[in-house]
Structure 1
C-alpha cells in the first residue's frame, strides 16, 4: 500500500505492507486524508536521516472489524484521528476509540478534517468558557480558523487576529467573525466589546518559538482571564502582567483526553462516559455533528485535492506558500 513519508526534509511515496487487523481495531480503506500544515511541515523540517510518517486525520470505509466489535460494521464510513494509527496511507488499522461514524449524507471530504476539528474543540474546552463570554483567537491558519468557527457556533463573542488580512477575510466570508490584522485595532475592539474589562480568554494558535503575542495576550485579557496555548509557541509570559491579573496560562494537548495514553489508544479501552465526558474520540464525533448540522461551514478548507501520487508536490506548494488554501486533501480512490 502507498503511504506518505518524510525523510531528509523531503516528502516521498513509499510502498508498505498492509497491516493485519487487530482486536478492537478497524481496517479502513482510506478515501481522503487532510494535510495539517502547521504540524506536518514542522515534521518534514525535523525529519533529517529518519523516516517520519505524515498525517493524522482521515476518512474511509471499514473493510474489516476486529474481534468482538459491535459498534461498527463492514461498509461503514468512519472518520479517524491520531498518529501513528492514522496517516496518509491507502489502508489504516485504527483503534475504535479513535473512530466515529460519519453521518449518512455527509461529504467524506468534510469528514477527513475530523482530527483538526477535534483539536479545535478540545482547545475551546480547555478555556472553560461560559455562554456569551469573549474569546480572542490569535493566528488564523487551518486550526485557528477552525477554532474560531466552533467558538462562533457555541455563541461565544469571538474576535480574531492574524497579520495576514486575507486570512481574516476568508474567515469572515463563511462565519461573519470580526477579524483584525493590526494589533492596535484589535485592542480597541476588545475594549469596546468588554467595556474596557478585557477578554475572558485568548487562544494562541500562531507558530514561532518566541513571540511578542504571548505578552500581548496578557494585556488583552481581564483580571483572572485565561491564555490557552494551542500553537507551537514557547511559553514566555511577563511575570508582572501575570501576577497583576492573576492570569491562568493553559496548554491544550491535541484532541482531548486519551491522547498518548496507550491504554485508551493502543488497547482501545474507552474511558467511562460518566467520568470523562469528552475524550478525543467523542470530540471527533462532535466535529462531525457540527458540520453535518451546518453549525460550522468548512467549504474554504476543501477546495484543493490531489491524488496520493501528487502528495510530494502538494507539500512543496504549501511550503513555498504557492497555495492560497490552508490545507489540501489527499485522495485515495
Structure 2
C-alpha cells in the first residue's frame, strides 16, 4: 500500500510503498477513501524537518540537554550515531481518516465489515486503528464531510474546557481550519463569537458563517474593539487556535478578557505570562489536549477501556460522535471549507505549498478503490539467499533501530526479512540495512525457508509465545530480554525446547570486552559482585511498567545483571532477596536492591535505581575476590587492583552487542555449544521472578 511520510532529517515528504497492516485485537482495519490534510499541524512538522540541526536544537532545548548528558556518559560518537538514527526515522503524516471497515479484530463488537467510519488514522491506503479512536458515520454525512471529524473534535474539546453559556462573548484567535470550526460550534452553542486573523480570505469565510471577524491588519485594535463591543466588560472567554512564537497572543487574550475570564490554548504560542494581567483579573488559563479525555492514555486508546459516561461525559470518541452529529444536523457546515480535492498520487501539490500557505483552508486526499493491501513487500532480489544464517527480525522499535541493526551490520549478518506492526518502521530499516523483505505478518518469517534464525524484538509480553512459535517452526531463536514474564510462560518455553535448535537471550553484557577481561582475571573462585544500574526515570504510563505487557523493570531489565553476575561467578543463583525503596513497596518497582546467593558461595548485589542523575555513569560493576578488586565503569573503563601485569582497560562504550552477534552468527553457521547455557538462562529468569516474590513476601526465595 501507499502511505505519506515525512523525514525529520530533511523535511522531505514522500509517498512510500509499505506493507499493509494486519488486524490487531481491539482494532479495526480500514480501507481509506478520503483523508483531510491538517495544514497547520502538518506545516509545522514539515518546517521542523526542513530546519537545520542548529535550528532544530533551538526549538527543542530540553533535547539538547539530554544529548549533552549522553555525551558525558557514553561518548561523542555513540551519541551522534544515536541522534542521526533518530532523525532518520520517518514520521507518518495525517490524523483525519475516513474509510470502510474491511476487517474487525477480537474484542470489537460495535463495528462490522462494510461500515463507513472516521478515525485518526494516517494518510495511508489502509490503517489499523484501535476501536476507541473510530466512530461510525451517519448516513447523511458524506465521506468528505466526515474527514473533518477529528480536527473538529480538537476545536470542540477547547470549547468544552472554556465551558461557554448562552449569550456569552467568546473570542477565537486564529481563523484557520480549527478556528473556523470552533467559531461555528460556538455559534451553535448560542454564543456571540468574535474571530481574529491576519488572512483576509479566512476573515471573509468566518463572516459568512456569522462570526464577527476582524483583521488587525486593517488597523483595528482588537483589545479595544472587544471592550467596546462588551460595554468595557471584556470577553467571557478566549480560545487561541493560532500559532505564534511570541507571547503577544497570550498578552492580548488577557487584556481583552473580563474579570475571571477563561483563556484556552489549542494552538502553539509563547507562554511567558504576565502575572499582573492574570492576577488583577483572576483569569483562568488552560491548555487543551488534542481530542479530549482519553488522549495519550494507553488503557483507553490501545486497550479499549472506556471511561464511564456518568463520570466522563465527553471522551475523545464521544467528541468525534458529537462533531458528526453537528454535521448531520446542519449545525456545522464544512463542505465550503474544502479548497482542494487531490488524488493521493498528486499529494505533492499540497505539501510543496505548505510553507507559503497558499489559499488553502482544507485539502482532501482521495484514494483509489483498487489500492494494494499486500502484507509483505520485496525490496530487493533474494536469489542470493541460501544455506544457513539467514535472519528474520520481528519488531522494528527503538532497540532494533538504535542497537540491533547497527550491531548486526558490523557482524556482517545475512538479513532476510523484518516484520513491524505498521509496516513503515520496518520498511525504512529494510531500505537502510539492505533487508530483502518488509512485512506486517511475522508468520511470513516463520514460514520462510531462507530464514534460519529468528530475532524477537517485540514488547515483552509477546516474547514467550513468539519463542515457542519460532522453535516449533524449526528456527534458531534469539530473543531480547526478558525470556518470559511469569513461570507459566517459562514452563511453556522449557517444554518446547529440545536442544535441536539454539535459543539465545540478549544478555549481551557478558560478551563485553570489559566483562570478558574481568572474568579472565578473577577466575571462578567465590567472589562478591556489586552491580549498580543508574537506570534513569521512566514515566509511570510507559509500557515497561505495565506488569502484563512489560513485566516491570526488575523482570524486564534487572535480569541483565543477574546474568552478568552468574557469568562472572561461574555459578547459578540459589536464593534471592529484594528490598525496595518506599514505605509500602509494590511488586512493580524500579528502585530496589537485590541480594543473590550463589551455589558456589559467591554473593551478588544488584542496585537498580531510577532516582539518580542522568549525568552520572549508567552502569558500574565491582568485583572483590582474594584480596583483589576490579571496577568497571559504564563499559568504557575497567580498573584492576591487586593483579600483576594489568591495571586498566579503556575503550569506547562497548556493552557486548557486536561480539554476541558475531559469535551467534558463527554458531548458526558452524554449530557448537550454546552461547549461554540454557539452564543458566532458565535460572536467571527464575531469579528475576523470585526477586518480585521476595518483595511481596518480605523473605528469601529459593530457586527450584
TM category (shorter chain) comes to: over 0.9
- What's the Cα RMSD here? 1.4
> For the Cα contact (< 8 Å) 1:202–1:227, is it kept in 2?
yes
User: Cα offset for 1:209?
Assistant: 1.9
Kindly provide the CA deviation profile for residues 230-259 of structure 1, in whole angstroms up to 9, marking residues without a partner as x.
Answer: 111121221111111011111001000011
Q: In the alignment, which of 98, 106, 109 is matched to residue 67 of structure 1?
A: 106
Three-state SS of the structure 1 residue aligned to 2:357 is coil
How many residue pairs get aligned? The number is 327
The structure having more radius of gyration, on CA atoms, is 2
Kindly provide the CA deviation profile for residues 247-306 of structure 1, in whole angstroms up to 9, marking residues without a partner as x.
Answer: 111100100001111111111211111111101111011110001110011123223111
| Partner residue in 2 for 1:4 | 4
| Partner residue in 2 for 1:38 | 40
Corresponding position: 1:122 with 2:194 = no
Three-state SS of the structure 2 residue aligned to 1:284 is helix
User: Cα offset for 1:133?
Assistant: 1.1
Distance 1:234 1:188 in 2: 22
Does 152-161 or 208-217 show the bigger shift?
Answer: 208-217
Distance 2:333 2:3 in 1: 29
User: Cα offset for 1:313?
Assistant: 2.4
Q: Which runs of 5+ in 2 are unaligned?
A: 50-86, 369-704
Distance 2:34 2:103 in 1: 18
User: Cα offset for 1:185?
Assistant: 4.7
| Partner residue in 2 for 1:113 | 148
Per the normalisation by structure 1, the TM-score is 0.95
| Moved segments of 4+, more than 4 Å | none
Per the normalisation by structure 2, the TM-score is 0.45
Three-state SS of the structure 2 residue aligned to 1:122 is helix
Matches within 5 A, 1:67-216: 67-81=106-120, 86-173=121-208, 175-182=209-216, 184-216=220-252
Corresponding position: 1:301 with 2:337 = yes
Distance 2:357 2:37 in 1: 14
User: Cα offset for 1:188?
Assistant: 4.1
Corresponding position: 1:49 with 2:88 = yes
> For the Cα contact (< 8 Å) 1:256–1:279, is it kept in 2?
yes
Distance 1:289 1:99 in 2: 15
Three-state SS of the structure 2 residue aligned to 1:208 is coil
> For the Cα contact (< 8 Å) 1:162–1:180, is it kept in 2?
yes
Distance 1:102 1:167 in 2: 28
Corresponding position: 1:17 with 2:51 = no
Distance 1:301 1:156 in 2: 21
> For the Cα contact (< 8 Å) 1:301–1:327, is it kept in 2?
yes
Three-state SS of the structure 2 residue aligned to 1:46 is helix
Between Structure 1 and Structure 2, the one with more helix by share is: 2
Three-state SS of the structure 1 residue aligned to 2:227 is helix
Q: Which runs of 5+ in 1 are unaligned?
A: none
Choose between structure 1 and 2 for higher RCO, CA contacts under 8 A separated by at least 6 residues. Answer: 1
Q: In the alignment, which of 312, 316, 330 is matched to residue 352 of structure 2?
A: 316
